[in-house]
Amino acid sequence: MMQVLLIDDERAIRRALREILEFEGCVVEEAENGAQALEKLKTHTYELIFSDIKMPQMDGLELLDQILALGIESPVIMISGHGTVETAVGAIKKGAFDFIEKPLDLNRILVLLRQVKDRNLLVQETKQLKQVVKKIKGSAIIGESPEIEAIKTMIEKVAPSDARVLITGGNGTGKELVARSLHELSTRVKMPFIEVNCAAIPAELIESELFGHEKGAFTSAIKDRKGKFELASGGTLFLDEIGDMSLTAQAKVLRALQENVIQRVGGEKDLKVDCRVLAATNKDLRSEINAGRFREDLFHRLAVILIHVPALNERRSDIPLLVNHFLKLVCQDHGIAQKTIDIAAVQALQALNWTGNIRELRNIIERLVILSDQCITANDVQRYANPNH
């Protein structure tokens, strides 16, 4: 329902306009003058504002200036009983969405409502698109090594499908980045990306986390709660560190993948879910299967497509690109003037043994930015790199 603010010193006009808007399903608030309207606008967001032009103390055009000065993006439709072409043009030039005259024309108001709804929908879609672009830029997989180029090609091929993907690789290699890239380049990009770290959730809570629970299912279940499968419906569910999931939870995940239905903990009703499942692990699942800790049938359900993310030690040629990328990000995050790094320092970083992979490299770049002078040198790397090196 559209939230609308009416500003007019004539009660009869407010009442007439309110009736029209409420009949069209809008939620309406009123203000008698500009000052009262400004107080409401400081604490509440409206999707549409109607404002009279001729009002005591502060007229509508002055109010429009104040609205724009506050950075309020809501469309403003100006109303006047003394309308002239000059007034209408002046209001629109200032930033009004449109201009209508008294007596109010029902058809004109209905047309404007439709235009505002279309405009607001377009604005929202544009914002979402900008967020997507920002995410893609911010989460771009950095590297030009053959191993990384192969992963990028695989992502481009696989992302548009709904195929399940199992992402393998050591801690800190960037498995989540691969999962996010798959989501962001898919047809589900406007829907949620929900991540579950299976290793971080106690075994007794993982089922409730994934499938939700009904009120009274256990002591602390004071109300119904949706699980991650439901929350991700329409989008993507990323099961990180799936090798740490209990066998009981694995059985329920298998059913969800086979039948696209789940049951909440304590519930008996089957709930349809539609989410693409991506999984990641730092474990050798074949060894886990042989040891009886992972279900082979679940492995085959998850591993329709396999993507292995190499360790940083296996892609040292990418380190200069990664260093420059993290150098820029860290300086921005800390509000520090952009620092530089000399070639010898980059070479020193390439020579280190990266047991913690990309995550470790980022942490060391952050340390170097904070502790080094304007130009990071090889001596800085020797002094401030992780002692384990």
Distance CA 50, CA 95 (A): 13
- Residue 384: count other Cβ atoms within 10 Å of its Cβ: 15
**Do residues 274 and 233 lie in contact, with contact meaning Cβ atoms separated by under 8 Å?**
yes
Distance CA 119, CA 209 (A): 38
Segment (H or E) for 185: none
What is the tens place of the pLDDT at every residue in 31-77? 999 999 999 998 898 999 999 988 888 888 899 999 988 888 899 99
pLDDT at 207: 87
Domain edges within the chain:
3-125, 145-310, 313-384
- Dig out the tokens for 158 from the structure: 């696989």
Q: Position 131: which residue type? A: Q
Beta strand segments in the chain, E: 3-7, 27-31, 48-52, 76-80, 98-101, 165-168, 193-197, 236-240, 261-262, 271-272, 276-281, 305-308, 340-341, 375-376
Query: Would you report the helix, strand and coil content of the chain in percent, each value rounded to 5?
Result: 50, 15, 35
- Dig out the tokens for 11 from the structure: 């009660």
Whole-model pTM over 0.75: no
Beta strand segments in 97-184, E: 98-101, 165-168
Distance CA 376, CA 365 (A): 10
**Do residues 68 and 60 lie in contact, with contact meaning Cβ atoms separated by under 8 Å?**
no
Distance CA 149, CA 33 (A): 62
Q: Among all chains, which residue has been given the structure tokens 């606008």?
A: 41
Q: Find out if CATH 3.40.50.300 is the number for domain 145-310.
A: yes
What is the tens place of the pLDDT at every residue in 327-380? 999 999 899 999 999 999 999 999 999 999 999 999 999 999 999 999 999 999
27 has which bridge partners? 3
Coil/strand/helix, residue 238:
strand
Q: Which regions of the chain are under pLDDT 70?
A: 82-85, 127-139, 219-220, 386-389
CB burial string 327-366: b at 16+ within 10 A, e below? beebbeeeeeeebebeeebbebbeebebebbbebbbebbb
pLDDT at 222: 75
How are beta strands 375-376 and 340-341 bridged, if at all?
Answer: parallel
265: which residues sit within 8 A by CB, 6+ positions away?
207, 208, 211, 212, 213, 214, 217, 218, 221
pLDDT at 250: 93
**Do 313-384 and 3-125 fall under one CATH topology?**
no
**Do residues 25 and 2 lie in contact, with contact meaning Cβ atoms separated by under 8 Å?**
yes
Distance CA 267, CA 252 (A): 13
Structure letter (DSSP) for residue 173: S
pLDDT at 387: 55
Q: Classify domain 3-125 at the CATH class level.
A: alpha beta
Residue among 233, 235, 22 nearest 113 (CA): 22
Q: Position 369: which residue type? A: V
Distance CA 50, CA 58 (A): 15
Q: Among all chains, which residue has been given the structure tokens 């809008």?
A: 26
Segment (H or E) for 267: none
Describe the crossing of helices 106-138 and 175-184 by its angle, rounded to 10 degrees. 150
Q: Which CATH number fits domain 313-384: 3.40.140.10, 1.10.8.60, 3.40.1190.20, 1.20.1090.10?
A: 1.10.8.60
220 has which bridge partners? none
**Do residues 33 and 55 lie in contact, with contact meaning Cβ atoms separated by under 8 Å?**
yes
- Residue 305: count other Cβ atoms within 10 Å of its Cβ: 17
